[in-house]
Each structure stands twice: as C-alpha cells, then as structure tokens.
Amino acid sequence: MNRVLVDADVHNTLATNDLLLPYLPQRWARHVERFGVRHPDSIGFFATRPRNFAARTDAWPPGGGVPGGDLAFMQEQLLDRWGVDAAILNPINQTTIGAQPGELSAVLSRALNDWTLAEWIDRDDRLFGAICVPCEDAALAADEVRRLGTHPRFVQVLVNVRTREPLGSRRTWPLLEAAAEMGLPLSIHVGGHGGNTITGTGWPSYYFEDHAGYPQAFQAQLISLVFEGAFERFPNLKVVLQEGGFAWLPWLMWRMDDAWRLLGDEVPHLRRAPSEVVREHLWFTTQPMEEPERPEFFAEVWEDLDMETHALFATDYPHWDFDAPDQALPRVLGAQARERILGTNARDLYPKLAPALAQVAAR
C-alpha cells in the first residue's frame, strides 16, 4: 500500500492586510484603508515575539514577499519536496484577525477565509482549509462556521489558544455547538492573548520563555473544556491541540482524575473520569514533539495517551522549528504507528480529505 502523507499544520500568510480589501464589504474596506488593523504588539503578540515571522531562513520566496505568502514557492519547498498528499492551511493571520473588535473581526475572518479559498485552496487540490473565526464573539464565530461548514475543502475550525475567557465557558458554547453540528474538529492553535497576559504570572522577557511555556495555555483550555462540561454538552465535539506538545498530558490527567474523584460533587455534569474524556475527544499534532533522552520514557507517554491513533503529523511550515517527515518521528515507533501518524489518523479525523487521498491509492 502506498504511504499517505498529511500535513496537519501549514501556515499561509498575508503579506499585507490590503490583500483582503477585495473580499471586504465596502464599509469595512474603507475602515481598514483608513484606520488599519490592530498591530500585533497591541493584541496578538508582545514585545518579545520573534522577528521575521519566526520563519526558516530559506522560507523567504526568492521573488519577494513573506514566508508562507507564495503558493508556488510553498508547492516547491513543501508539497512537492516531501510528497505531501494533503495539507491543512492554518492562516497565521488568524492570530490577530481573530481577536479584533467583534464585527470587524467577523468580516476580516470571513475575508481571510475567502482569500485562502480563492488564492490557495482552489489552486491546488492538495490544500484544505481551517475556518478562521472571530475568537472573542462566539455567536459571530458560529455564523462563520455554519457558512463554510459544508464546504468540501474546509475541514476544521481554527481558534487561538490564548483567549479572553477559557474555551469551555458557556459564553463560547455557541461556537462549540456549531463545530459539533457541522462535524468539524475544533483546532486550538498557538497564538493570541485576548487582552490578557500570556502567562499566569505576567509577561515574559524572552521569546523562548513564551515558546517553552505554550503548554500552560493548552492546559488551561483543556481543563476548562473538560470540567465545564463542554464534551458532555456536545458529545461529538472533537478537539485538536496544535503546537502545544503532549508529554505534559499524562500527569495533568492524573491530577484531573484525582480532583474529580475527591471533589466531583462540584461538577456533577462530568459523569466520567477526565482522562476518559481526553482520550475520546482529543487529538494532537506532532510538532513540536518532546523527546526525552531515554527513549523508553517517550514510549511510555505515547502508550499512555493512545497516541498511535490520536497523533497527527505536522511540519509547521514555514517556521524555524519545521519538522521534516523523514526525521520527525522517533525511532522507537514501529512501521504501523508511523503509517497512522503520517496520514491514516488525519484521514480518519478529517473525512473531507478523502478525494485527495484517493489519488494515493491509485498511484
């Protein structure tokens, strides 16, 4: 059988927000031309963010532009170079566009989705999209999910991991309901801060404090989704954690299970152990992958999380910590596990990938 390769996290990028003007209503096109979009320093990132899009040095298109901003160069450097059969685009601009004031965020998200469809997805059968949404307005976000939810090339809903309120809160339920209704996984990706500090203790001094600390935000979101009953309310909701790692999860499940056994009366709506909920509803991308010096430790974590069926290969192109498919997976993994991670798990989670992957079987 031919190998299937699905890249679950690829970033296309706007070189400038002006590229969205043709996709905006006239009222909002005038607004963006006159007032612009909030700069990342004020809403999306912070002073220690990495320079140059946190990109690989070789990811800058030779003809000009920005990393992730040139389809032909992405095809050459990623899709063709590695034989990618299907790739899911998570526009990096979601980080800022998804956190603008409500109505502006909604029209920008819609424009970003339409731009991604017209300029990327429609031009390469291997490309699929994530629906970008206004993260801080669940009702408007739900509208966008339902607008594109039946489109054959949009396979998931994309939200920032750093939000104003935890994603499990009832305020967010209209978005979760829409994702579940449309049968689309909710992808929680690194980015944003929703107006809050990006750690529980304030602002870091260095970019690598942020990079190493990503799991803090993912842990908070996961705890919220589990204990506030989101998965009980929406039993077919599936969640993908992207760029947050996963080695931290076993001890978090132990801690959640222990709290639930001792204090479960506070959350009677949670009828199963948190670890059971996590194993049923959560998927994870492989990039970045924690690798202990002793391989047997990795194998234990992998088995405890049932990662063989819940891990999705991702390169994170075009970022500096890009993972190549021939080097990313630890040697302790067998051939069957590699096959599942590189493509089978994504095929099972995202049924809309089937047309692209059917061509693999025909090779």
- The string of pLDDT tens digits covering residues 336-351 is 999 999 999 999 999 9
Q: How far apart are CA 116 and CA 121, in angstroms?
A: 6
Q: Which domain holds residue 355?
A: 6-361
Query: Residue 80's beta-bridge partner residues?
Result: none
pLDDT at 119 > cutoff 90? yes
Q: Is residue 1 part of a domain?
A: no
pLDDT digits (tens, 9 = 90+) for 279-318: 999 999 999 988 888 878 888 888 888 788 999 999 999 9
Contact 298, 360 (CB under 8 A): no
**182, 191, 269: which is closest to 230 by C-alpha?**
269
- Report the run of H or E that residue 208 belongs to, with start and end: helix 207-212
**Domain total in the chain:** 1
Contacts of 358 (CB under 8 A, 6+ apart): none
Q: Is residue 216 part of a domain?
A: yes
At 212 the pLDDT is 86
Q: How far apart are CA 70 and CA 88, in angstroms?
A: 16
pTM, rounded to two decimals: 0.95
Query: Residue 358's beta-bridge partner residues?
Result: none
Task: Write 356-363 long-range contacts (CB < 8 A, 24+).
Answer: 356/85, 356/86, 356/125, 356/126, 356/128, 357/4, 357/6, 357/85, 357/86, 359/85, 360/2, 360/3, 360/4, 360/85, 361/1, 361/2, 363/2
Q: Is residue 92 part of a domain?
A: yes
Q: Is residue 169 part of a domain?
A: yes
pLDDT at 193 > cutoff 50? yes
137: domain CATH number?
A: 3.20.20.140
Query: Residue 188's beta-bridge partner residues?
Result: 159, 241
At 1 the pLDDT is 46
Q: How far apart are CA 306 and CA 98, in angstroms?
A: 32
pLDDT digits (tens, 9 = 90+) for 127-175: 999 999 998 899 999 999 999 999 999 999 999 999 989 999 999 999 9
